[in-house]
């Protein structure tokens, strides 16, 4: 049977429309308390670094393969987001800011204050293992490939298209094309994205404030030359996690490897003490869980930075007990870290959780 490009695209559009109808967005707060407002008044109280230890009684630890900086921080500290404030670079150790398997971490006294440092350098510092990262390799693919862009930014991106042949998807083709004038000069590889769900705040099923569109990663293409007839740039599919279609968007390829040591746990750097979830970027589950990526209300407009740690809190309800209305205390259920910052929002990565997280839960400065 001849593969017809038009029929294929119409079928794809019909499926997308049908799926969109089945998964229409709904305001999660419609039958709950109103979404919490950000509290950004500049009066947030920050814990003293020496308070980070709390009641922890760990004084020595040998770093193992598979350890993460977040896990080690929680082992030593009651307030692990203060790790950067109490770390001491041992001048007798080469690259003392990096921690390797085999290193022995100890608590030392520096000018009358407790600090954590590398007491003994492990053998892996001479080769055989990479330094540990904040959350292992879990963050890397999300930080590299997760994109949320405004409509104006999306409209400026170049698109991919095919030739005059018959095909269902461009993935089947050995060559695909893009307008040369639309591509940035000197870039040889491009990530392929497709616009997905609108991200913003809803009232019922109506989007009341759109902040951007989630872009779904489709694959990667590489420049292989130029078409002699049209002067369009020829591209070859390198990788595809989904079929590449005409109209998909091109962005300069991010590195396949990310230096995850840049993700360092720290107390929120801005003036906010409370915020909220805007969206869960994992569309396969109803609730948020460990290692999910989310959109938060913190942005560059209120000084959010990569590495900021936020506590996830389940707000306590009001209950009627023995004739009285009582405000029930909230419950701490997890932590997230900011991994990418935009002007009015940010992408957060859930580091750990003691139970499923609702999008209605609060984000509170630890």
Domain boundaries, the chain: 49-136, 141-252, 267-364
173's CB contacts (< 8 A; 6+ apart) are 162, 163, 165, 167, 237
Residues 44-86 have pLDDT tens digits of 666 788 889 998 889 999 999 889 889 999 999 999 999 988 9
Map residue 21 onto helix, strand or coil: helix
Q: Classify residue 145 by burial, with Cβ atoms within 10 Å: 0-12, 13-18, 19+.
A: middle
Residue 203 has pLDDT above 60, yes or no: yes
Instruction: Indicate if the pLDDT at residue 357 is higher than 90.
Output: yes
User: What number is the average pLDDT over the span 243-259?
Assistant: 81
Question: If pLDDT is split at 50, 70 and 90, which confidence band does 189 have?
Answer: very high
Question: Which regions of 27-137 does DSSP assign to beta strands (E)?
Answer: 60-62, 104-110, 113-120
* 36 close to 362: Cβ distance less than 8 angstroms: yes
Nearest to 54 by CA among 114, 103, 108, 104: 114
Task: Over range 159-173, report the average pLDDT.
Answer: 75
Given 2.40.10, 3.40.640, 3.40.1130, 2.40.50, which CATH number is that of 267-364? 2.40.10
Please give the average per-residue pLDDT across 82-92, as a whole number: 91
Encode pLDDT of 316-352 as tens digits.
888 999 999 999 999 999 999 998 899 989 999 999 9
- pLDDT tens-digit map of 262-309: 677 888 887 899 999 998 888 777 789 888 899 999 999 989 998 899
What does the pLDDT read at residue 132? 85
Q: Report the share of the chain in percent with pLDDT over 90.
A: 49
Buried-exposed string 309-334: b where 16+ CB fall within 10 A, e elsewhere: bbbbbbbeeeeeeeeeeeeeeeeebb
What is the structure's pLDDT at 172? 65
């Amino acid at each position: 049977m001849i593969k017809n490009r038009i029929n294929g695209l119409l079928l794809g559009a019909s499926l997308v429309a049908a799926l969109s109808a089945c998964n229409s967005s709904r305001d999660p707060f419609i039958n709950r308390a109103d979404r919490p407002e950000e509290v950004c008044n500049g009066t947030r109280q920050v814990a003293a670094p020496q308070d980070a230890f709390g009641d922890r009684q760990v004084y020595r630890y040998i770093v193992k393969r598979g350890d993460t900086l977040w896990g080690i921080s929680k082992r030593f500290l009651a307030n692990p987001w203060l790790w950067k404030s109490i770390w001491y670079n041992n001048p007798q150790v080469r690259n003392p800011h990096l921690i390797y398997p085999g290193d022995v971490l100890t608590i030392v006294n520096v000018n009358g204050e407790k600090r954590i440092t590398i007491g003994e350098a492990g053998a892996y510092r001479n080769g055989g293992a990479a330094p540990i990262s904040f959350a292992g390799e879990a963050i890397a693919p999300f930080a590299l490939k997760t994109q949320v862009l405004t409509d104006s930014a999306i409209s400026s991106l170049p698109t991919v298209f095919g030739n005059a042949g018959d095909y269902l998807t461009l993935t089947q083709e050995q060559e695909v094309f893009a307008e040369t004038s639309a591509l940035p000069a000197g870039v040889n590889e491009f990530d392929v994205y497709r616009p997905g769900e609108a991200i913003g705040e809803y009232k019922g099923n109506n989007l009341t404030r759109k902040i951007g569109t989630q872009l779904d990663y489709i694959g990667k293409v590489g420049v292989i030359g130029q078409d002699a007839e049209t002067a369009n740039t020829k591209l070859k599919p390198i990788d595809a996690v989904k079929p590449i279609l005409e109209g998909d968007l091109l962005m300069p390829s991010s590195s396949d490897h990310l230096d995850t040591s840049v993700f360092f746990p720290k107390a929120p750097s801005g003036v906010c003490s409370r915020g909220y979830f805007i969206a869960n970027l994992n569309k396969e589950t109803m609730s948020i869980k460990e290692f999910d990526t989310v959109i938060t209300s913190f942005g560059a407009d209120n000084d959010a930075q990569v590495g900021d740690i936020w506590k996830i809190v389940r707000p306590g309800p009001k209950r009627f007990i023995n004739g009285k209305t009582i405000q029930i205390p909230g419950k701490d259920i997890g932590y997230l870290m900011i991994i990418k910052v935009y002007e009015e929002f940010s992408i957060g990565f859930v580091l750990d959780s003691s139970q499923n997280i609702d999008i209605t839960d609060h984000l509170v400065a630890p």
